[in-house]
Amino acid sequence: MTDRKITSEPDKNFKLIGIASAERDYRLCYMLTEALGWEITRLANHEIELRERTAKLSVGTFKAVQPLTGSVFYLFANKSGGELLLPEGGNFDYLLKTEGSFKGVKDILKKIKQIETVLTASEIPVKALKNWDRLAYEEPVEKPDVVIKKRGK
């Protein structure tokens, strides 16, 4: 039973890396785990309402927390059913969003580019994005079951 949500605040205080790879999402996550030493978990699909159409876009979503700094990363599939999560990143199959003011983007880019099945990876300037708000992901939070027992006489 889901009640509240933890929201990735929709602000521009993040970095974004585009990744081009024909690899399936779970395989890419495995390779990123090997290259970066992260533990990556699958989350509920990221769903957004498309303003242009009366349709929903649902893309695979993954999360990693960097052990040393506690930085949070979200990996989104950029393409689903012929639609793009981020139209400005149309050349990329995946988008890696860093939460907060993470400073090690160049190091991460270097490691991602060394993955054999990655065709290219590059930083996408967030300030130039028109649809940056599409990357605000809400993680469902489970509401604990509360049992209220009736008092006996």
Residue 26 sits in a domain whose CATH number is 3.30.310
Domain count, the chain: 1
List the structure tokens of 107. 């190091």
Report if residue 76 sits inside a domain.
yes
Report if residue 39 sits inside a domain.
yes
For residues 59-71, give the mean pLDDT: 86
Report if residue 149 sits inside a domain.
no
* 108 and 15 Cβ atoms separated by less than 8 Å: no
Report if residue 96 sits inside a domain.
yes
Report if residue 70 sits inside a domain.
yes
Report if residue 66 sits inside a domain.
yes
Number of Cβ atoms within 10 Å of the Cβ of 81: 9
What sections of the chain are H helices per DSSP? 25-36, 105-113
What is the predicted pLDDT for the residue at 129?
87
φ/ψ region of 121 (left if φ > 0, alpha if ψ in -120 to 50, else beta) reads beta
The reported pTM is 0.81
Q: Where in the sequence is the domain holding 24, given as residue range(s)?
A: 2-139
Report if residue 85 sits inside a domain.
yes
Range 52-67 burial, b when 16+ CB lie within 10 A, else e: eeeeebbbbbbbbebe
First to last CA, the chain: 32
Report if residue 147 sits inside a domain.
no
Q: Angle at the Cα of 114 (from 59 to 21), degrees rounded to 5?
A: 30
Nearest alpha carbon to residue 98 among 63, 67, 133, 122: 63
What is the predicted pLDDT for the residue at 86?
92
Q: How many residues does the chain have?
A: 153
pLDDT in tens, 121-143: 999 998 888 888 888 887 766 65
DSSP 110: H
Query: Which DSSP helix (H) or strand (E) runs through 140?
Result: strand 138-142
What is the predicted pLDDT for the residue at 26?
94
What is the predicted pLDDT for the residue at 66?
80
**One-letter identity of residue 135:** L
